[in-house]
Chain A
Amino acid sequence: RKEVEQDPGPFNVPEGATVAFNCTYSNSASQSFFWYRQDCRKEPKLLMSVYSSGNEDGRFTAQLNRASQYISLLIRDSKLSDSATYLCVVLYSGGYQKVTFGTGTKLQVIP
């Protein structure tokens, strides 16, 4: 089983739609969780951290479920500019630091 798993997609959604991505992780001792966005041939950029209580940033909402070991990202009112690959990132800091990326979920917002 992969340490971090995501549905690769692609998710093709019309403008204005709401779309949700999930990401599961296997290491229950994982400590920090993030969503990154990566545009084609560019480096990943931090979209938002994921807090235990859930957090929202404009049209984006992130949730963490430690019991079931998954995190989610909800995008409301999708824009064309949201088209990208969304990476789930898990950081483990016990003894040594390890950052693990999911394979990414590709989102294509269609006019």
Chain B
Amino acid sequence: GAVVSQHPSWVICKSGTSVKIECRSLDFQATTMFWYRQFPKQSLMLMATSNEGSKATYEQGVEKDKFLINHASLTLSTLTVTSAHPEDSSFYICSARHKAGGIRRIDFGPGTRLTVT
């Protein structure tokens, strides 16, 4: 079964509103969680790396004030898209690295499809 969950699985919101996406590791502790987005017919693009208890590291070109990441516990990270605009419509996926599994174990969430109207 799934070991990483995301909520919601899809969301439609109006331009200018904020949307929060949750990523949970279900039966393991995740020291590091990664957030990606994927536009249609394009590759996954890493947005940020989130370590529990510390500030996220954002990739170049990703606005940290627009995409707020909170990794408050070893099983939960949240991504908040603030003041969403239609160009933010995308497929957002998180992944979690197992604390006990070494660097080779990374599991992905099922993704959240965001549509901003």
- B117–chain A nearest beta-carbon distance, Å: 20
Number of interface residues of B (CB under 8 A): 23
Most chain-A Cβ atoms within 10 A of its Cβ — which of B43, B46, B93? B43
Say whether A43 contacts B93, CB under 8 Å: yes
Contacts of A34 in B (CB 8 A): 104, 106
> Looking at the complex, which of A12-20, A60-68, A74-82, A100-108 is the stretch in contact with chain B?
A100-108
- Cβ distance A55 to chain B, nearest Cβ, rounded Å: 12
Q: Report the minimal beta-carbon distance from B83 to chain A, rounded to whole angstroms.
A: 27
Asked whether any CB of chain A lies closer than 8 Å to the CB of B25, the reply is no
Q: Does A59 contact B (CB under 8 A)?
A: no
Which of A93, A98, A99, A101 is the one whose CB lies under 8 Å from B43? A101
A43 B49 Cβ-Cβ under 8 A: no
A residues less than 8 Å from B43 (CB atoms): 87, 101-104
Q: Which residues of A contact B97 (CB under 8 A)?
A: 97
From B11-19, B71-79, B107-115, the one touching the partner chain is B107-115
Return A16 CB to nearest CB of chain B, in Å.
28
B46 touches A100 (CB 8 A): yes
A23 to B115, CA, bound (A): 32
Name the A residues within 8 Å of B110 (CB-CB).
Answer: 42-43
Q: Does A91 contact B (CB under 8 A)?
A: yes
Interface residues, chain B, with chain A CB atoms under 8 Å away: 32, 34, 36, 42-46, 49, 51, 57, 91, 93, 95, 97, 103-104, 106-111
Interface residues of A (CB under 8 A from B): 31-32, 34, 41-46, 49, 87, 91, 93, 96-104
